[in-house]
Amino acid sequence: MTFNLSWACVLVGCISASLAGAYNLSDEFPPLWKESPGQFSDYSVENGKYIINPWNYSERIGMYKILLAQTARYFEKFAPEDEQNILWGLPIHHGWQYHSGRLADPTLRTDCGHDSGDPLCISVDSWWADLNYYLSTIPFLAAIDSGLMGVSADNVILLPPSKDQTNFCYNVSSCHSSFPEAMKMWNKFYKCAMSPSSSFDDLLKYMWDAMFHPWSLLVRIFRVGKNKPNVILL
């Protein structure tokens, strides 16, 4: 199985860094990684359900943090210290989006994501933020669905953005109905990860399929739905 790294670079920037396996985790953590939620109990709880606001950078990066922690054991056989967990590319990329101001409101109609307002706010008007929604919540909810997160699907609720609510999905069942293929592909990836006989190449392939699928789907959606999709930046 061959995997074309240069395509990964084109597609999602620094995701390639972690795929190449050549980077130093200790100095490459995304911004605010240590302070962000790292377990479900760090989020607020209402009626026995964890409430996650993916429109807050800290809470979104926290979903990755839980995902990385819960999948670490499946990557131990490839390298120590979770260094070969290919999911690292996702939070690293999101951290870069945050650090470079790409998650802030580009229209400047609100101060969402800007230093003058709430710097942690993720704007639904940011095209980057909207695309990343699918590369954070779908892998996260699919992991819950695959049974590797230790919580039941009914116990986690994601909060909607202030507008454009119908572009997104908020729980395992609604994501299955809105984005069935993407959920299915992430489920396949986790199933492969949990299998003791899986190879690193198999995992790369399944992750590639899962990432690529929603991504190409979204380019279509946002071409229709947003005025300025910068497809070239992908």
Q: Where are the beta strands (DSSP E) in the chain?
A: 44-46, 49-52, 156-158
Distance (Å, rounded) from C-alpha 122 to C-alpha 129?
Answer: 7
The smaller minimum CB distance to ligand NAG, of residues 29 and 96, is found at: 29
- Contact letters (x/-) for ligand NAG, 135-154, by CB under 6 A? -------------------x
Contact flag: residue 27 with ligand NAG (CB under 6 A): yes
Distance (Å, rounded) from C-alpha 198 to C-alpha 194?
Answer: 8
- Which residues from 164-183 bind ligand NAG, rule CB under 6 A? 170-171, 173-174
Distance (Å, rounded) from C-alpha 162 to C-alpha 21?
Answer: 38
The smaller minimum CB distance to ligand NAG, of residues 53 and 146, is found at: 53
Beta strands 44-46 and 156-158, pairing class:
unpaired
Shortest distance, position 123 Cβ to ligand NAG, whole Å:
13
- Which residues from 87-126 bind ligand NAG, rule CB under 6 A? 118, 120
Q: Which positions ≥6 away from 145 have C-beta within 8 Å? A: 153, 172, 176, 183, 187
The smaller minimum CB distance to ligand NAG, of residues 28 and 202, is found at: 28
User: In this chain, which of 15, 19, 30, 59 binds ligand NAG, going by CB under 6 A?
Assistant: 59
Angle in degrees, CA 3, 67, 184, rounded to 5: 60
Residues near ligand NAG (CB under 6 A) are 24, 26-27, 37, 56, 58-59, 118, 120, 154, 157, 170-171, 173-174
